[in-house]
Amino acid sequence: MDDFMRDDCCAPKSEFDVAVIGAGSAGFSAAITAAEGGKRVALIGHGTIGGTCVNVGCVPSKTMIRAAEALHGARAASRFPGLHGEARVAGWAALIAAKDDLVSTLRQKKYADLLPDYDGVAYIDEGPARLIPGGVEVGGRKITAPRVIVATGDRPAAPDIPGIQDAPTLDSTSLLELDQLPESLIFLGGGYIGVELAQMMARMGTEVTIVCRSRLLPRTEPKVSEALTEVLRAESVTVLDGATYHAARRDGDLAALTVSVDGAELDLTADRLVLTTGRTPNTEGLGLAEIGVETDARGAIRVGDDMQTTKPGIFAAGDVTDRDQFVYMAAYGAKLAARNAVLGGAERYDNAAMPWVVFTDPQVAGVGPTEAQARDAGYDVKTSVLALENVPRALAARDTRGLIKLVADRASDRLLGGVIMAPEGADSVQTLVMAIKFGMTTRALGETIFPYLTTVEGVRLAAQTFEMDVAKLSCCAG
């Protein structure tokens, strides 16, 4: 795409108020925010326009996960007496093509087609960018800007396992580009990307094994990890947690992995190893060290609460930083960066009421600290745990997989955090977000009116569980 500016014909094309490196969610958020404030913006491409989320992350993975849920929904119909359902993948190539069409459509509509609507934004895609004094160098020319925002995102990382470079592997990107459905896969890593994609592929008909060093979703509540492990095993996914990786290799056309679990050494084989053990910030070639921008041990750019790096005048946002790795937090941080960099702002990054979602089935969604994190922060905590079998919606749906756990401060009764594991948990967690954001007590939450036969009603029941046995309440009135 050619760079352009509108209604500013007299301004030198290489002089701007701010240069934004990266044209994904964070980059667009920063550029649009600055442009709406009347600033001249150089939006410098880094990879495919649209970045990770629309191209290789959220959009393609979630549409494939939904497709897998449709398969599972048909097969699970027998939980209702008198029903029987069957479903299978009839055309993998057609499914992949539909996913690719959705991605290209959203990339065009939500990114490329937006640029002409913002006067003062120049899109520059002339090669790798490098930070230099006074601006950015791109394609051999200097882009002069007193402020720079780095938003170059990240990419899948390869684990440090002997032989991994020789074994047949996939990552979260290449997995969703396969032209044929594999017979077997071994997923390395039990984080949210690994468990989402592993369950999706298992439901598509692939034999799946998950191998992880600790437990599934290690950053959330242990009870949720245990429950999710049970769910996946019930769907014939092999989960090997607490594993130690020893070596990987190619075994003919297959991938082989040697691990130890509970003191026993195991040799595993599959069509491919899927590497979902972490991600690496895209910082190579930017000249960060030379310009004075510090990074952490992972290579992520260190930023303060104002989103400024250790070099005054240079800001960063999104997955390239040491902040939260979610697309909505990338956009949020980028807005702060733009406001603070060129619009006279003094805003601070605040993730105290930040929701997160894992799109397994049941979904897992949460906000605020876990019980352990709250204790480490010095709170005298109290908790409630509500099994989904106590939620009328789950009983009516004949699907009681999951639970709700709330964490509160004992002294003030103020809600601190919570996690919901339920088929509709993603659409219910925002109630907890609002409760935490506005400092609600568990008593107030338990006295709030909720609609009956909804999953979110479980939040009220979980709040009431602090003081009573909700199993003894009337089913239609609590």
Q: Does 439 belong to an annotated binding site?
A: no
Q: Does 332 belong to an annotated binding site?
A: no
Q: Does 350 belong to an annotated binding site?
A: no
Q: Does 51 belong to an annotated binding site?
A: no
Q: Does 149 belong to an annotated binding site?
A: no
Q: For the chain, report the end-to-end CA distance as a whole number of angstroms.
A: 59
3-state class (DSSP) for residue 318 = helix
* Cα–Cα nearest to 262, from 235, 292, 241, 287: 241
CA distance 330 to 428: 22
Instruction: State phi, psi for 232 to the nearest 5 degrees.
Output: -65, -40
Exposure of 352 in the CB half-sphere (CA atoms within 13 A)? 11
Q: Does 349 belong to an annotated binding site?
A: no
* Cα–Cα nearest to 317, from 298, 297, 341, 292: 341
CA distance 401 to 389: 8
Q: Does 62 belong to an annotated binding site?
A: yes
- Are the beta carbons of 235 and 266 closer than 8 angstroms? no
The structure tokens listed for 185 are: 């896969």
Tell me the Ramachandran region of residue 47: left when phi exceeds 0, alpha when psi lies from -120 to 50, beta otherwise: left
Q: Does 111 belong to an annotated binding site?
A: no
Query: In Å, what is the CA distance from 372 to each residue of 177, 355, 358, 383, 435?
Result: 39, 18, 20, 11, 20
With b for 16 or more beta-carbon neighbours within 10 A and e for fewer, the 286-299 pattern comes to bbbeebebebeeeb
- Are the beta carbons of 146 and 232 closer than 8 angstroms? no
CA distance 226 to 242: 13
CA distance 121 to 3: 8
Q: Does 192 belong to an annotated binding site?
A: yes
- Are the beta carbons of 407 and 370 closer than 8 angstroms? yes
Residue list, annotated binding site for FAD: 62, 319
Residue list, annotated binding site: 62, 189-196, 278, 319
Residue list, annotated binding site for NAD(+): 189-196, 278
